[in-house]
Amino acid sequence: MFIVNSYLLAVILCFVTMLCWGSWGNTQKLAAKSWRYELFYWDYVIGMVLFSLLLAFTAGSIGSEDRPFLQDLGQAAWSNIGWVVLGGVIFNISNILLSASTSIAGLSVAFPVGVGLALVLGVINNYRVAIEQGSKTGNVGLLALGVALVVCAVVCNGVAAGKKGDSGVSKKDQKKGIILAVIAGVVMSFVSSFVMRAMDTANFVAPEAGKLTPYTAMVIFSLGVFLSNFIVNTVVMKKPFVGEPVTYKQYFSGNLKTHLVGVLGGTIWAIGTALSYITAAKAGPAVSYALGQGAPLVAAIWGVFIWKEFKGAKKGVNLLLTAMFVLFIAGLASIVIAGL
């Protein structure tokens, strides 16, 4: 299988992860012109599953290093499969909450608040797992500094969100969007640590028996998301956070172009996640996760400059947004250096 053998390449791929995780929300914004996010999310999940299978039978099955996908799946311990499935279920809950927040509050609020919190708490969880497994941990002081800077960036974004102009969303719904983002971030922070427990992040070349390769973990994770979606998303469709309930009849009445936009969104997310898992051994679980979770910076750029989500905002918002960008960049830089 394809394995990352240098820290520089690992960091580059982690930045690709960040771009993917911060950009998939654009497909939801595009679909939202005629499509509720609850319906979009089904296509999104299907895109995740299709790409993870494609990757497993290509990059996850070529070469002489490590176990190919099917062989790795056959030797996997049920306990490790269970950890990854659990991670998929938890992710599904958190990501639906994040999608709901995005549909209400916008990309430039939902991602910095939700994913920013996931970064802070997730780094702590992944750092603990890395210590337990004897994996690379990075410089704890610089990691802590990076996380602290990201926290400050999230605070700046939260304050700026409260000063947004009239976006057609009531103050009550805007507040609900922020609360959903906070809950999504807290829940999402546990996802990666569960998945990392199932992989031998200290040695991808000759992983411990019963452990999973990143490619196998990605497939199981996506299937966990897909299967749990029949419960989680069905509930949300019947009891939406905002608006009227939607039905499966509405989903199947959608046109091909609309469905493909959702599949594209899931594929973009899956590319980023696969790279995050693949780079975990060389960059370390905490660093690879933290860099990928720099996605709020990317999402904020899309939301502020492309979707104009802060257009007409109150005085002082531009200064807060500038501070947010600077703090995010400084925090990410500190995290990169921490892994050297």
For the ranges 86-95, 145-154, 166-175, which has the lowest average pLDDT?
166-175
Q: What is the pLDDT of residues 316-331, one digit of tens each?
A: 888 999 999 999 889 8
Per-residue confidence band for 167, with pLDDT thresholds at 50, 70 and 90: low
Handedness of CA 113, 116, 122, 127 (dihedral sign): negative
- For residues 86 and 194, is the Cβ–Cβ distance under 8 A? yes
Mean pLDDT computed over 80-99: 96
Tell me what percent of the residues of the chain surpass a pLDDT of 90. Answer: 51
Query: Which of 27-31, 107-111, 154-158, 335-339 ranks highest by mean pLDDT?
Result: 27-31
Structure tokens at 320: 């807060």
Handedness of CA 165, 169, 171, 176 (dihedral sign): negative
**Predicted local confidence at residue 193, as pLDDT:** 85
**Does residue 216 have a pLDDT over 70?**
yes
For the ranges 87-101, 266-280, 296-310, which has the lowest average pLDDT?
296-310
Query: Which of 13-22, 260-269, 280-289 ranks highest by mean pLDDT?
Result: 260-269
**Predicted local confidence at residue 165, as pLDDT:** 59
Tell me which H or E stretch contains 171: helix 171-188
For the ranges 41-50, 98-107, 170-179, 255-264, which has the lowest average pLDDT?
170-179
**Does residue 135 have a pLDDT over 90?**
no
CA distances from 322 to 43, 124, 155, 156, 189 (A): 35, 27, 13, 9, 26
Mean pLDDT computed over 163-172: 68
For the ranges 33-37, 76-80, 104-108, 287-291, which has the lowest average pLDDT?
287-291
**Cβ of 144: how many Cβ atoms within 10 Å?**
15
- For residues 60 and 70, is the Cβ–Cβ distance under 8 A? no
Mean pLDDT computed over 199-216: 87
For the ranges 135-139, 163-167, 293-297, which has the lowest average pLDDT?
163-167
* Cα–Cα distance, 335 to 340 (Å, whole number): 9
**Does residue 246 have a pLDDT over 90?**
yes
**Predicted local confidence at residue 136, as pLDDT:** 67
- Average pLDDT, rounded, for the chain: 88
**Does residue 137 have a pLDDT over 70?**
no
Mean pLDDT computed over 184-193: 90
Choose between 116 and 273: higher pLDDT. Answer: 273
Structure tokens at 25: 């929300």
Mean pLDDT computed over 131-141: 76
**Predicted local confidence at residue 284, as pLDDT:** 76
**Predicted local confidence at residue 166, as pLDDT:** 56
- For residues 125 and 261, is the Cβ–Cβ distance under 8 A? no
Structure tokens at 72: 């790795």
R_g over Cα of the chain: 19
Sorted by where each begins, the domain ranges of the chain are: 7-338
**Predicted local confidence at residue 94, as pLDDT:** 96
- For residues 294 and 17, is the Cβ–Cβ distance under 8 A? no
* Cα–Cα distance, 22 to 143 (Å, whole number): 21
Provide the 3-class DSSP secondary structure of residue 135. Answer: coil
Choose between 266 and 127: higher pLDDT. Answer: 266
